Chain A
Amino acid sequence: KAGVTQTPRYLIKTRGQQVTLSCSPISGHRSVSWYQQTPGQGLQFLFEYFSETQRNKGNFPGRFSGRQFSNSRSEMNVSTLELGDSALYLCASSWGVNTEAFFGQGTRLTVV
């Protein structure tokens, strides 16, 4: 059974640009959550999608957005990139609420 796949693995963007990250969950999982990991703030929840609907949102500015498609694949978008957006972005796949959550390898975003 394939795991959670995130693409791309690495990205370098310039301040002010926008970026789109992709996450393909484990087959059959309908929940996809996104997290940002930085040395200073640790792992922080961005948002969660279930059956194409955003169910929960973390405390991040509106520049961070996401969506989920009918096949459960999810994308997150960051517009007007700032240096502080440099981080490891991780997505987690779950069958539903209160179930095991499996993470992908992450996308390392560097903003210069």
Chain B
Amino acid sequence: SQELEQSPQSLIVQEGKNLTINCTSSKTLYGLYWYKQKYGEGLIFLMMLQKGGEEKSHEKITAKLDEKKQQSSLHITASQPSHAGIYLCGDLTQGAQKLVFGQGTRLTINP
């Protein structure tokens, strides 16, 4: 079965700094989703990537799917306290609206 590995598991950065979170799959990624979650709350949809080499941006967050479609990265530029939370990557199961998730990356922003 597919496994998604996120790195790092936790990250503490100073406000204003840039950061990157990685999501690596044991299989070819079919449809990669990035979400943000505040503790105990629902998942906020950030982006969905499907094509190798695809890159999408939303405000100061950019996500990219590598050409071989086995890794995605999420990059935050000039981090702010509002970026704090848990970031989750999820991949679609081919032919089904079913997501397999990584274990999450906990991001803390220090003022």
- A98 in contact with B45 (CB, 8 Å): no
- Is A48 interfacial (CB 8 A cutoff)? yes
Pick from B43, B97, B102: contact of A56, CB under 8 Å = B97
Interface positions, chain B 23-37, Cβ under 8 Å from A, are: 30-31, 33, 35
Q: Does B97 lie within 8 Å of A94, measured CB to CB?
A: yes
A103 touches B42 (CB 8 A): yes
Cβ contacts B68-111/A at 8 Å (1 or 0 each): 00000000000000000000101011011111111110000000
Q: Is the Cβ of A105 less than 8 Å from the Cβ of B97?
A: no
Q: Which of B43, B95, B100, B101 has the most CB of A within 10 A?
A: B43
List 6 other contacts, CB 8 Å, given A45-B100, A99-B97. A43-B90, A45-B99, A56-B96, A88-B40, A90-B42, A98-B97
> Which of A6, A55, A92, A106 has most chain B Cβ within 10 Å?
A92
- Is B41 positioned at the interface, with any CB of A under 8 Å from its CB? yes
Cβ of B48 under 8 Å from chain A: yes
Contact with B along A34-51 (1 / 0, CB 8 A): 010000001101001010
Expressed in whole angstroms, the Cα–Cα distance for A103 and B97 within the complex equals: 13
Contact B45 A101 (CB under 8 A): yes
Return chain A residues, CB-CB under 8 Å to B44.
103
Nearest residue (CB) in A for B43 is A103
Q: How many residues of B contact A (CB 8 A)?
A: 26
- When C-beta atoms are compared, the residue in chain B nearest to A106 turns out to be B42
The residue of chain A having its C-beta at the shortest distance from the C-beta of B100 within the complex is: A45
Chain A's nearest CB lies how many Å from the CB of B96? Answer: 5
A102 within 8 A of B: yes
- Distance of A42 Cα from B37 Cα, bound (Å): 12
Whether A42 and B42, one on each chain, are in contact in the complex, defined by CB atoms closer than 8 angstroms, is no
B97 cross-chain contacts in A, Cβ below 8 A: 31, 33, 48, 50, 55-56, 94, 96-99, 101
**Which residue of A has the minimal Cβ distance to B48?**
A100
- Which chain A residues border B103 with CB–CB below 8 Å? 42
- 28 sample A-B contacts, Cβ–Cβ < 8 Å, listed by A number: A6-B42, A31-B97, A33-B99, A35-B99, A42-B101, A42-B102, A42-B104, A43-B88, A43-B90, A48-B96, A48-B97, A56-B93, A56-B97, A58-B98, A90-B42, A94-B97, A96-B97, A98-B31, A98-B92, A100-B33, A100-B45, A100-B48, A103-B35, A103-B42, A103-B44, A103-B45, A105-B41, A108-B40
